[in-house]
């Protein structure tokens, strides 16, 4: 079972797709798109072309557990994707994924443009890893 994780951003959206066994991240990329409807279409096309069974969308809950405007945007994108893809779309708590992605890239020596280009893909990979670990149990 392939799983696709999405780290939704206003300008750039990170995507990570598992290997066919659903064990590890097999592919990570970034989609540059501002329009949520076009993004939903692009994500669905990607999911269907890669044989994805489940889409896991990062859900940015505040550290105190409340849901703000970013969480509402993610919920709206999830709703759009459910209608367009006919796949399960799961909201996954993504607290601290971007902070952890920055730490990982700092430790790897990534700076400047290289870091900006990959931060969202790394965050999506962390969302995917969290989801897959939850399945294992």
* Residue 72: other Cβ atoms inside 10 A: 11
Angle between helices 36-49 and 69-85 (to 10 degrees): 50
d(CA 66, CA 82): 24
pLDDT tens, 11-53? 999 999 999 998 888 899 999 999 999 999 999 999 999 999 9
In 3D space, the residue among 121, 59, 47, 57 whose CA is nearest the CA of residue 84 turns out to be 47
d(CA 92, CA 99): 16
Q: What is the pTM of this model?
A: 0.89
For the chain, the domains span 2-136
93 CB-near residues (< 8 Å, 6+ apart): 59, 61, 130
DSSP string, 86-119: -SEEEEEE-TTHHHHHHHHHHHTT--HHHHHHHH
d(CA 46, CA 42): 6
Determine the pLDDT at residue 117: 67
Determine the pLDDT at residue 116: 67
Count of all residues that appear for the chain in the document: 137
Instruction: Please state which CATH number belongs to domain 2-136.
Output: 3.30.420.140
Determine the pLDDT at residue 58: 95
pLDDT tens, 50-102? 999 999 999 998 888 888 889 999 999 999 999 999 999 999 988 777 777 76
d(CA 123, CA 13): 10
115 pLDDT more than 70 = no
Which contiguous run of DSSP H or E holds residue 39?
Answer: helix 36-49
């Amino acid at each position: 079972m392939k799983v696709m994780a999405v780290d939704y951003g206003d300008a750039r959206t990170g995507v990570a797709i598992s290997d066919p066994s659903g064990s590890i991240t097999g592919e990570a990329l970034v989609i540059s798109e501002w329009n949520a409807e076009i993004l939903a279409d692009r994500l669905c096309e990607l999911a269907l072309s890669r044989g994805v069974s489940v889409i896991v969308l990062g859900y940015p809950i505040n550290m105190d557990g409340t849901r703000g405007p970013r969480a509402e945007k993610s919920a709206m994108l999830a709703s759009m994707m459910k209608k367009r893809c006919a796949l399960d779309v799961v909201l996954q708590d993504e607290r601290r994924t971007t902070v952890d992605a920055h730490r990982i890239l700092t430790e790897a020596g990534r700076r400047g443009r290289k870091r900006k280009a990959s931060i969202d893909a790394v965050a999506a990979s962390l969302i995917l890893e969290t989801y897959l670990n939850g399945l294992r149990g």
